[in-house]
Amino acid sequence: MGASLMPPPGQRCIVVDDLRLDVFIGVHEHEKQARQQVSITLHMFVRDDLATARSDSLVDHVSYADVIARLRERAASPRHVQLVETLAEEAADFALTDARVDSVVVDVRKTEIVPEASGVGVVIHRQRGAR
């Protein structure tokens, strides 16, 4: 995605930009034999809480490190998914685990599958309680 999305007034956006991980992904037989690099970008939208907005304590804020840890754990797993859409849904679920995240935009791209492109994939937007 390259650039941060502008949060609406009264919200902030926590960004994980272009996290590169090697995962088992793809529909073709040769894709099931080795991990492929994917790029994952998340924009997590959180309501500003005036009581904690200026706090310098991590407990008062959504931690991108927690979401990155879950994504790294997922990448280390031998579990194979066929579609970038599936991986994007998993990443959205990880972000929405923190009850303070109202919505998340997730961009997942395979980075090595089409030589002429820097990546091919999907962008999804999920909101808490919308499923």
What are the chain's domains?
11-127 (3.30.1130.10)
Prediction pTM value: 0.91
Output the pLDDT for position 46: 95
Tens of pLDDT, residue by residue over 84-95, are 999 999 999 999
Confidence of residue 131 (pLDDT cuts 50, 70, 90): low
Average pLDDT on 104-131 reads: 93
Which region, left, alpha or beta, applies to residue 12 given φ > 0 means left and ψ of -120 to 50 means alpha? Answer: beta
Burial of 128 (0-12, 13-18, 19+ CB in 10 A): middle
- Three-class secondary structure of residue 68 per DSSP: helix
Tens of pLDDT, residue by residue over 55-99, are 788 888 899 999 999 999 999 999 999 999 999 999 999 999 999
